[in-house]
């Protein structure tokens, strides 16, 4: 059974960098694409980006150059950094497993972690 | 960016009834469309992928259809546990996008 767990600070100050890590158990990170997806409170879902174990990444143009996704295969983890955050970045952040190709569906998802941007 | 428009925004039905949820794409996504179910406080769960294929463990009450720009998620014999928000998602073009969701309420 594949399980994903997000971790990181729940509160980030405006203009600072949001950093989250997703730890995968029950599956090797080296087989699939792995994504970050977020959901502002009471709103819909926004795909942030993906990473492959080779380091191949792709991110949503809506987030421009603020997103960095990295992988640590030795720890079976991948991470998200989002710079220059504002209140609009307040959301539940999910990590999710994609397919063996870049474009994919997402299953399973982590439980999600709420990140609030506030001073 | 492909925009997915879901309708209706809210659907209120009784147990045992049939639910029909719609997802319309701003351009063709072929059959590269998925449906998710999200219950309060939970992560989304994949129900249907490639328009009509049920994901592992999903009951046969859930079915998907459509291609091109118009898609439907049908849930027959509604149960109280089906109360949730349902999202569609396309994967044919970057960025991957989701619809805004349909809230299904079971009376």
Tell me: pLDDT of B18 over 80: yes
Q: Hey, are the CB atoms on A44 and B98 less than 8 Å from each other?
A: yes
B84 and A CB contact within 8 Å: no
At A30-65, the pLDDT tens digits run 989 999 999 999 999 999 999 998 889 999 999 979
Inter-CA distances, B74 with B8, B59, B60, Å: 13, 12, 10
The answer to whether the beta carbons of residues A109 and A47 sit under 8 Å apart is: no
B49 and A CB contact within 8 Å: yes
Nearest to A37 by CA among A99, A119, A113: A113
- Give the integer Cα–Cα distance in Å for B38 and B46: 9
At B32-72, the pLDDT tens digits run 999 999 999 999 999 999 999 999 999 999 999 999 999 99
Secondary structure of residue B1 in the 3-state scheme: coil
Average pLDDT, rounded, for chain B: 97
Residues of chain A whose beta carbon is less than 8 angstroms from a beta carbon of chain B are 35, 44-47, 58, 60-62, 94, 96, 103-112
- In the predicted model, what is the mean pLDDT of residues B3-22? 98
Tell me: pLDDT of A102 over 80: no
Sheet with A77-82: strands ordered across: A3-7, A18-25, A77-82, A67-72
B95 and A CB contact within 8 Å: yes
């Amino acid at each position: 059974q594949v399980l994903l767990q997000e971790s990181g600070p729940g509160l980030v100050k405006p203009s600072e960098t949001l950093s989250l890590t997703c730890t995968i158990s029950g599956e090797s990170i080296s087989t699939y694409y792995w994504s970050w997806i977020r959901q502002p409170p009471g709103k819909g879902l926004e795909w942030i980006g993906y990473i492959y174990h080779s380091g191949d990444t792709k991110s949503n143009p809506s987030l421009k150059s603020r997103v960095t996704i990295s992988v640590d295969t030795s720890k079976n983890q991948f991470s998200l950094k989002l710079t220059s955050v504002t209140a609009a970045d307040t959301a539940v952040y999910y990590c999710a497993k994609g397919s063996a190709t870049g474009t994919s569906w997402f299953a399973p998802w982590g439980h999600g972690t709420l990140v609030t941007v506030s001073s | 960016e492909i925009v997915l428009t879901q309708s209706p925004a809210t659907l209120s039905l009784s147990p045992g009834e049939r639910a029909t949820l719609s997802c319309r794409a701003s351009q063709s996504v072929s059959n590269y469309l998925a449906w998710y179910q999200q219950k309060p406080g939970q992560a989304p769960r994949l129900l249907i992928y490639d328009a009509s294929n049920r994901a592992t463990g999903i009951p046969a009450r859930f079915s998907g259809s459509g291609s091109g720009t118009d898609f439907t998620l049908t849930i027959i014999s509604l149960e109280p546990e089906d109360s949730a928000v349902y999202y569609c998602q396309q994967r044919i073009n970057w960025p991957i996008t989701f619809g805004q969701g349909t809230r299904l309420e079971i009376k």
